[in-house]
Every structure is written in structure tokens, then in C-alpha cells.
Amino acid sequence: MLSVVVAFGQDYETKQYISQNDTLPYRILLPENYNPNKSYPLVVFLHGAGERGNDNELQLIHGSFLFKSKEFRQKHPAIVVFPQCPKNSYWASVQKNQIQKKEKKFKFQKKLGTYRTQELLELFLNDLEKSYKIDTTRRYIGGLSMGGMGTFELVARMPNYFAAAFAICGGGNPSWSKTLSSTPFWIFHGSNDLIVSYGYSKRMFRNMKRYNKETRFTTYEGVGHNSWDTAFKELELFPWVFSFIKK
């Protein structure tokens, strides 16, 4: 697995963001023929729980290959960042309880209070714009599993920041739906997911659709937790994401 990560990460620069006593490792991929005087779209990708740590490599296991493909870089030149969540933390302020050997039950907090990891992401994004020229009308975010949960929550915390989002096998609190309505979402989930219940995404979709008709939901029948493998093959995903511009 390490050799795969190294291969995918060769074009991603290794960096870290430091705020007080906290460090957020991240990898960044710049567009081909990057021009520092030109503004580019931003894509933020949040990894799952299994890729937490401080090695600044594991977060590239899933999804990094998509953004370094020749097709993506030609059609959607963008600045792509993969931050890495600390091992003892979580992208979302969620309580989780083990039900069975594999299955977990998640309780998503209704109140979007002060949660250090989410706060660190906000600070990181604001700092990133000091170093790179980012098109503020074309900032996008996506994530899988824990990162899907973090995607819902970060957009709820920053409702005027992202132009579009996609969440794979994640979940959130339906009470955020109205706040999330200013950002188009494409939600993906496998119907046989025993790690993060399919119902979490379905519940978010039903509530979010009431406020934003651009909300999409794709169910992968018979697919388990690794629905990202199927979602990554969606030919419409990035054309859909990049079609949105924040007004």
C-alpha cells in the first residue's frame, strides 16, 4: 500500500499548517504550468478515519489519483489539497458507538459549536488563500466516510464558502439542511454499508432536497462501505461539481 501512496503522491507537494500548538499536515497539487499570478479553483478532499495520522501520506490512498490524471488536469485545472486529520481526532463533531463487531451508530451534533479540528480546517483554508490565488467563486469540497461527515459539517459551518460539494458514505444532522441549501450537494452511498449506515445519507438527502433542488443522491445497490470506488468512476462527477459558481 505504501508504494501505491508514494506513486500517487509524487506530484503532490508536502506541506503543513501550524496554528498555536496544532499541526495540520497537507498535500497540495498545483495545476500543470501553474501561474502564480492567475486565479484557480480550489478542491478540498477529506479522507476517511483509516487515513488519520501525521505521516502526510495516508490521506492520499483514496482519490488522489483522480486529480492527477491527465484528463482532470486538462479539463479542470485547479489547486487540490488533501489535509490529514490527526490520529486522535475526527473531521466531524460526532459521537460514535459500536453496535456490533463492524456496525457503528453515529450521533451528529445539532449545534455547530467550537470543534477544534473543524476550526483548524477553517483557519487552514483562510491561510491557504494568502499563499495562492484562489478563485473565490469556485471553491469545492468532497470527502468519504469520516470525510463525508466532515464535508457536511464544514459546509454547514461555512455556508457561503463552497460553490459545490460531494459526500460519499457520510452523514450529518438534518437540522443543518437549510444552512446547507446555498451549496449544491451530490451524495453517494452503498445500500449495504455496515460501517456508516446508508440511512444517514438518505436522511440528509430527503431534508436537503426540500431547500435545494440541485441536491443529488446516488444509491449503489448491494455495495458496502467502499462506495467511493464506484463514485470515483462517475463520469459526470467533476463536470457537475465544476459547473457551479458561487454568486
On average, the pLDDT of the chain sits at 93
121-151 pLDDT, tens digit per residue, is 999 999 999 999 999 999 999 999 999 999 9
20-45 pLDDT, tens digit per residue, is 999 999 999 999 999 999 999 999 99
Is 101's pLDDT higher than 60?
no
Q: What is the pLDDT of residue 114?
A: 75
Asked if 77 and 32 touch (Cβ cutoff 8 Å), the reply is: yes
Give, as one character, the DSSP assignment of residue 50: G
Q: What is the pLDDT of residue 76?
A: 98
Share above pLDDT 70 across residues of the chain, in percent, rounded to a whole number: 94
To which H or E segment does residue 49 belong?
A: none
Q: What is the largest CA-CA distance in the chain?
A: 53
Model confidence band, residue 8 (pLDDT cutoffs 50, 70, 90): low
Taking residues 197-205, report their average pLDDT.
Answer: 98
The fold for domain 2-242 equals Rossmann fold (3.40.50)
Taking residues 183-190, report their average pLDDT.
Answer: 99
Predicted model pTM: 0.93
Taking residues 46-72, report their average pLDDT.
Answer: 97
Q: Where are the domains of the chain?
A: 2-242
Q: How far apart are CA 150 and CA 166, in angstroms?
A: 11
Q: What is the pLDDT of residue 75?
A: 97
Is 99's pLDDT higher than 70?
no
Q: What is the pLDDT of residue 247?
A: 86
Q: What is the pLDDT of residue 227?
A: 98
- SS3 of residue 43 by DSSP: strand
Is 73's pLDDT higher than 60?
yes
Q: What is the pLDDT of residue 244?
A: 98
> Could you tell me the three cell numbers for 43?
478542491
Torsions phi, psi for 55 (to 5 deg): -80, -15
Q: How far apart are CA 60 and CA 47, in angstroms?
A: 8
